[in-house]
C-alpha cells in the first residue's frame, strides 16, 4: 500500500512549510512557503551562514563603504527572504511564498510598494511571476493591497487567516491563494475551552472545510492552502484541499505511515451543498472580526509574532555584519 504522503499527493498539492533547503530536497514538495519566523530560524543554522554572509556582502557593495552597519543590515534584511526564495526555487518545481514585512499589515500603500519591490528582485534574477506568491496578512488593508497587486499580475497568498469573513474578503479581492492556520485555531480553542479535539472535531479542520466548501460552491478561483498543522490527523482530515503546507517533521510522519487515506474535501460534493452567500464590505468585515474572538486574537498575535521575528532577524544581521567587519579589519592589518 502507498504511504499517506503518496496518497495525499493524488488529490492535494503538497507544499513544504520550511526555509530548510535540505528538508525540501528530501521530500520533493511542489511549492514551498516561508515566513519571518522560519527565515530567522534558518538564518541561524551554520550550513546557511554563507547565504547570510553573501546577502550582507552584496548589501555592503550596493550601499558603498560609507554606509553605516545599520543601513547595510536593513537592506540585507529585505533581501534575505528573496535569497532563500531563489535557492528554494532551484529545488521545487512550483512556487515560493515570500512575505511582506508584517509591520506593514495595516498600511495598504506600503504593502503594495514592498510587494512590488519583492517581485522586482525576483524579476531581476530572471524568475517569472508565476513562480512567486507574495504573502500579505489577512487584514482589510491587506486585502485592498492584494486586490491592486493581483490586477498587476502579482500573485498573492493571504496569510494569518482564521475566519470566514477574512476568507470571503480574500476571494472577493481576487487573490490567488489563502493560508488558513489550522493549528493556531486549534491552539486557541484548546486554551479557551480546556478541551482537546481530534479528527473532524478539530475547530481548525472545521474552519478550513467550511471555507473550502464555500469557495467551491460559488466557483471562486482563489485556492485554499491549509497551514500550521499540529498533527497528521489534521492533515488527513483535509485530504482533497487544494494545497496543504506541511512542516518537515509531519511530512516524515506521513511518509512513514501506510494506511488508507480517503478523500475528505471534494468540489463536486461542495457544489451540491446548501450554503448562504455573504457580502463582505468593510463595516461587515469589522463587525464579524470583532465578533469572532478567535480570529481577532490570532490575527493580532500573529502579526505581533512575525513583527518580533523580523526585529530579531534585523538584530542577528547587524551582529553578523559587525563580526564580518571585525574580521576584515583584522585581515587588513
Cα 145 to Cα 34, 55, 301: the distances in Å are: 20, 28, 21
Ordered mean pLDDT values, 10 residues apiece, the chain (333 residues): 96 92 91 86 90 92 87 85 93 94 96 96 96 98 98 97 98 98 97 96 98 98 97 98 96 97 97 96 98 98 94 90 84 78
How far apart, in whole angstroms, are the C-alpha atoms of residue 198 and residue 180?
Answer: 18
pLDDT at residue 19, rounded to an integer: 83
pLDDT at residue 65, rounded to an integer: 84
Catalytic residues: 135
Cell 520550511 sits on residue: 18
Cβ-contact 103, 74 below 8 angstroms: no
Q: Are strands 132-137 and 177-180 parallel, antiparallel or unpaired?
A: unpaired
> How is domain 12-332 classified at the CATH fold level?
TIM Barrel (3.20.20)
β strands within the chain, DSSP E? 13-17, 31-33, 96-99, 132-137, 156-161, 177-180, 223-226, 243-246
pLDDT at residue 146, rounded to an integer: 98
pLDDT at residue 70, rounded to an integer: 81
How far apart, in whole angstroms, are the C-alpha atoms of residue 224 and residue 178?
Answer: 5
pLDDT at residue 142, rounded to an integer: 98
All three cell numbers of 25, joined, read 530536497
Amino acid at each position: 500500500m502507498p504511504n499517506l504522503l503518496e496518497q495525499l499527493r493524488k488529490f492535494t498539492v503538497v507544499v513544504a512549510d520550511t526555509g530548510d533547503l535540505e528538508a525540501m530536497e528530501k521530500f520533493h514538495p511542489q511549492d514551498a512557503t516561508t515566513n519571518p519566523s522560519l527565515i530567522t530560524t534558518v538564518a541561524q543554522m551554520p550550513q546557511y551562514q554563507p547565504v547570510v554572509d553573501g546577502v550582507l556582502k552584496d548589501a555592503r557593495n550596493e550601499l558603498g563603504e560609507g554606509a553605516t552597519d545599520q543601513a547595510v543590515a536593513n537592506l540585507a534584511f529585505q533581501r534575505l527572504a528573496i535569497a532563500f526564495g531563489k535557492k528554494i526555487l532551484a529545488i521545487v518545481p512550483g512556487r515560493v511564498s515570500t512575505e511582506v514585512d508584517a509591520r506593514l499589515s495595516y498600511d495598504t500603500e506600503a504593502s503594495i510598494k514592498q510587494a512590488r519591490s519583492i517581485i522586482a528582485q525576483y524579476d531581476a534574477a530572471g524568475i517569472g511571476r508565476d513562480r512567486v506568491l507574495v504573502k500579505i496578512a489577512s487584514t482589510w488593508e491587506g486585502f485592498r493591497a492584494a486586490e491592486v497587486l493581483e490586477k498587476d499580475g502579482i500573485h498573492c497568498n493571504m496569510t494569518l487567516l482564521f475566519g470566514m469573513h477574512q476568507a470571503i474578503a480574500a476571494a472577493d479581492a481576487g487573490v490567488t491563494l489563502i493560508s488558513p492556520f489550522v493549528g493556531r485555531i486549534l491552539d486557541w480553542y484548546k486554551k479557551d475551552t480546556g478541551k482537546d479535539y481530534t479528527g473532524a472535531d478539530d475547530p481548525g479542520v472545521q474552519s478550513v472545510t467550511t471555507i473550502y466548501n464555500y469557495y467551491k460552491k460559488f466557483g471562486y478561483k482563489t485556492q485554499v492552502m491549509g497551514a500550521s498543522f499540529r498533527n497528521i490527523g489534521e492533515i488527513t482530515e483535509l485530504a482533497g484541499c487544494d494545497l496543504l503546507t506541511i512542516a518537515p517533521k509531519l511530512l516524515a510522519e506521513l511518509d512513514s505511515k501506510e494506511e488508507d487515506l480517503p478523500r475528505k474535501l471534494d468540489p463536486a460534493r461542495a457544489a451540491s451543498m446548501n450554503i448562504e452567500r455573504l457580502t463582505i464590505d468593510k463595516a461587515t468585515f469589522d463587525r464579524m472580526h470583532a465578533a469572532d474572538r478567535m480570529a481577532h486574537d490570532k490575527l493580532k498575535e500573529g502579526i505581533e509574532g512575525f513583527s518580533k521575528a523580523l526585529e530579531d532577524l534585523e538584530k542577528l544581521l547587524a551582529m553578523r555584519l559587525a563580526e564580518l567587519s571585525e574580521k576584515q579589519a583584522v585581515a587588513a592589518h
